[in-house]
């Protein structure tokens, strides 16, 4: 009935798997939990091996990294049930009825369900740029998510029929961090599938430090340019790319790109989402210059 699929990389997923497995057992439905480590070769996998001691749960560590999209596709191929629940390793359900909340949608046809994301408001978290960005751009109210379901599609917490996933899949040309959720949601809409936002959130626990988060953000911007150049997305459908193309039209790419290091330092040192957004624009201008 339900395959829970968890990709991980250098992260202890045991707490999440144990939580999910406990809920699944209580619901008395056929299930499996599959967790793949994508070639991190981390000592943390000693903890992840404990997943194999839980009933209907499997952990496998890959020796080589295949990429964020490919690892999800492999998890889906391994799955034996008709519903797939994808969860990132660094999340934890907000509700003890998390699985029960998803089960009630099993009679729906050809629909993808997104449960949403929340952040724990600890004093420690509040100093990090990743937390501030997540609170502003990912912890979105259900009413707002419903108004624009595809915009707030996140791979960290979604339920999909295996038959539907098999027709879409994640784009394996995207190997590194970022934007695979954007492309997947756009492909779903293009193929005529409805994304439904529901109230069944997970806490995002993995809060990167500022330097690492900025590094990942820059990788995501590279993927955005790649998607545009590969004609995998329409630049006019994204406000950020439309802005960059306007800047290019007015011959201001060099001027905007010049400010990139300034904005990066301000974003990192002040944990500022505003300056992070400025950095995104200026960094995309740098990338555009390289591709012209």
Q: 117 and 227: one domain?
A: no
Q: 238 and 194: one domain?
A: no
Q: Is the pLDDT of residue 218 over 80?
A: yes
Q: Is the pLDDT of residue 44 over 90?
A: yes
Q: What is the mean pLDDT of residues 204-211?
A: 96
- When pLDDT is cut at 50, 70 and 90, the band that residue 292 belongs to is low
Q: What is the pTM of this model?
A: 0.93
How far apart are the C-alpha atoms of 6 and 232, rounded to whole Å? 26
- Report the candidate in 124, 59, 102, 80 with the shortest Cα–Cα distance to residue 202: 102
Q: What is the mean pLDDT of residues 237-250?
A: 87
Q: 254 and 110: one domain?
A: no
Task: Give me the pLDDT at residue 233, please.
Answer: 78
Averaged pLDDT of the chain: 93
Task: Give me the pLDDT at residue 238, please.
Answer: 81
Q: 278 and 181: one domain?
A: no
CATH number at residue 130: 3.90.550.10
Q: 161 and 264: one domain?
A: no
- Tally the domains of the chain: 2
Task: Give me the pLDDT at residue 231, please.
Answer: 83
Task: Give me the pLDDT at residue 177, please.
Answer: 64
Q: What is the mean pLDDT of residues 216-239?
A: 84
| Domain end (from 204, 226, 255) | 204
**For the residues of 206-243, what is the DSSP string, one character each?**
----HHHHHHHHHHHHHHHHHHHHTTSS-GGG-HHHHH
Contact between residue 115 and residue 200 where contact means Cβ atoms under 8 Å apart:
yes
Percentage of the residues of the chain whose pLDDT score is greater than 70: 98
Q: 20 and 90: one domain?
A: yes
pLDDT digits (tens, 9 = 90+) for 116-150: 999 999 999 999 999 999 999 999 999 999 999 99
Q: 145 and 230: one domain?
A: no
The whole domain housing 278 covers 210-291
pLDDT digits (tens, 9 = 90+) for 261-281: 999 999 999 999 999 999 999
- When pLDDT is cut at 50, 70 and 90, the band that residue 255 belongs to is very high
Q: What is the mean pLDDT of residues 194-200?
A: 96
Contact between residue 180 and residue 68 where contact means Cβ atoms under 8 Å apart:
yes
Q: 185 and 88: one domain?
A: yes
| Domain end (from 188, 204, 220) | 204
Task: Give me the pLDDT at residue 104, please.
Answer: 94
* 57 membership: H or E segment, kind and range: strand 57-61
Q: Is the pLDDT of residue 241 over 90?
A: no
Q: 164 and 23: one domain?
A: yes
Q: 109 and 230: one domain?
A: no
| Domain end (from 180, 204, 228) | 204
Q: 140 and 166: one domain?
A: yes
Q: 185 and 87: one domain?
A: yes
């Amino acid at each position: 009935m339900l395959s829970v699929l968890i990709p991980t990389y250098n992260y202890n997923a045991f707490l999440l798997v144990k939580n999910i497995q406990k809920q699944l057992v209580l619901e008395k439905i056929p299930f499996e939990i599959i967790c793949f480590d994508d070639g991190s070769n981390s000592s943390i996998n000693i903890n992840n091996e404990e997943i194999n001691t839980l009933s209907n749960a499997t952990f496998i560590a890959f020796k080589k990294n295949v990429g964020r999209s490919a690892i999800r596709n492999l998890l889906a191929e391994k799955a034996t049930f008709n519903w797939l629940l994808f969860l990132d390793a660094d999340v934890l359900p907000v509700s003890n009825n998390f699985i029960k909340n998803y089960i009630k949608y099993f009679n729906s046809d050809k629909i993808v369900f997104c449960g949403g994301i929340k952040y724990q408001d600890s004093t420690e978290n509040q100093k990090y740029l990743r937390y501030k960005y997540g609170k502003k751009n990912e912890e979105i109210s259900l009413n707002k998510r419903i108004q624009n379901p595809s915009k707030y599609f996140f791979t960290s917490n979604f339920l999909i029929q295996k038959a539907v996933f098999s027709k879409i899949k994640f784009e394996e040309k995207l190997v590194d961090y970022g934007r695979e959720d954007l492309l997947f949601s756009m492909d779903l809409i293009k193929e005529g599938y409805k994304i439904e936002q529901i109230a069944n959130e997970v806490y995002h626990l993995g809060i990167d430090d500022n330097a690492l988060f900025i590094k990942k953000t820059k990788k995501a911007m590279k993927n955005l340019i790649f998607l545009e150049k590969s004609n995998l997305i329409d630049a006019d459908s994204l406000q950020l790319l439309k802005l960059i193309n306007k800047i290019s039209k007015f011959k201001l790419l060099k001027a905007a790109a010049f400010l990139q290091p300034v904005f990066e330092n301000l974003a990192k040192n002040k944990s500022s989402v505003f300056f992070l957004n400025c950095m995104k624009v200026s960094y995309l201008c740098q990338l555009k210059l390289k591709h012209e």
